[in-house]
Structure 1
Amino acid sequence: MIKLKKTLIYYRKKKLGGLPGFFGVKMIRKFKKTDSDEIMQIWLDCNINAHDFVAKEYWQKNYPFVRDAIQYAEVYIYEIDQKIVAFIGLQNDYIAGIFVKKDFQGQGIGQQLLNYAKDRHTELTLSVYEKNKNAVNFYVKHGFSIEKSSVDTDTGEVDYLMKWKRKNADRQIFSQYECWLTKRSTPIN
């Protein structure tokens, strides 16, 4: 066991460049005003990286507006070892975005934030650029459907309005019960 632990620590430090949070304490918490600088840097970096088809200046120009809007949004922070690595921003039932630092993408953090929001809402909508295939596929995988497409007048890019709606859990349980009754009441030949 000690040898395995030393091997994992070595692997973490040498091979993965430390990979912050690999063994760390993870949590989702509400946004605090003191988080603003850190989450805004994540917002800017993620948008520039994910949207190479939109000019970098567009995101830089919108930075002050978003910084103000975040103060009034429902924002949840994902921390590893008390370091912010991701966040989700909501305005009522609208997901303004899920933003995960590049080094932490692909680890299920975005999914955890999305599920956290789903637990608190019966339906959610969002807009995503058509060319952002990774995001479109992510949301489809997690039960969102494309409701309509339009052209974003600021960027000239096609974006999708996507929607998720909680299925009626009571109806699902009742339907399963109905199927069970039907199967049990069918005569065995």
Structure 2
Amino acid sequence: MNQDLIIRRYRPSDEDVVVDLWSRAAREAHPFLTGEGTGEREQKMREVYLIQADNWVAEHNSEVVGLLGMIGSEIGGLFVAPASQGLGVGRALVEHATTMHGEVTLEVYTLNDRARRFYALMDFEEEGRRHDAETNHELITLRRTGRDSSLIQA
């Protein structure tokens, strides 16, 4: 899929498609969060994150299949449509974030095993843990340093 994947800036016209993608992916990734992908969390997605974050979408054959939300150099959100998971979309979005910022951080729920495995494969390293008062779950802070392209030999 990677060769046909386009990463572009989020546009306000993407809102409904992106919120639907986020809702489906978030419910699958966070079954331990009551009301995930709906209600107040959806409202916050529309009214805060899609407005305040530096958002990017991944498109495959003109269909939005991924969302990357950056808050400075922190990956505030990385969501891939369930049908497109495991096809390189998340990897491409992480590489895009690292290319833009060099070093990136993120937080992932301890209970999100699939995401934790993905981030380990992407060379993220644990920096710490904290209790999230909003959800009453533990979050792990991860960091990934960009690769120095001058060290890559042709």
Q: Would the TM-score normalized by the shorter structure come out above 0.5? A: yes
Aligned in 2, Cα 1:161/1:59: closer, same or farther, shift over 3 Å? farther
Whose relative contact order is higher, 1 or 2, with alpha carbons under 8 Å and at least 6 apart? 2
| Bigger fraction of residues in strand | 2
The answer on 1:78 being equivalent to 2:58 is yes
Distance 2:56 2:139 in 1: 24
1:145 is matched with which residue? 125
What value does the CA root-mean-square deviation take over the aligned residues? 2.1
Structure 1 counterpart of 2:86, from 87, 106, 112: 106
Task: List structure 1 segments (4+ residues) > 4 angstroms apart after TM superposition.
Answer: 167-170
The amino acid that maps onto 2:62 is Q
Q: In 2, Cα distance between the equivalents of 1:164 and 1:157?
A: 23
Do the aligned partners of residues 140 and 59 (structure 1) sit closer, same or farther apart at CA in structure 2, a change above 3 Å counting?
farther
Question: Which residue number in structure 2 is paired with residue 37 of structure 1?
Answer: 16
The unaligned stretches of length 5 or more in structure 1 are 1-21, 177-189
Q: Which runs of 5+ in 2 are unaligned?
A: none
Higher relative helix content: 1
Distance in 1 separating the partners of 2:9 and 2:146:
23
Give 1:108-147 correspondences, 5 Å limit: 108-147=88-127
Partners of 1:124 and 1:158 in 2: how far apart? 20
2:95 partner letter: N
8 Å contact kept, 1:47–1:59: no
Task: Determine helix, strand or coil for the equivalent of 2:107.
Answer: strand
Q: What is the rounded CA distance, in whole Å, between the counterparts of 2:37 and 2:20 in structure 1? A: 15
Percentage of identical aligned residues: 26
1:71 match: secondary structure? helix
Match of residue 45, structure 2, among 61, 66, 69: 66
Equivalenced residues, count: 151
Matched with 1:28 is: 7
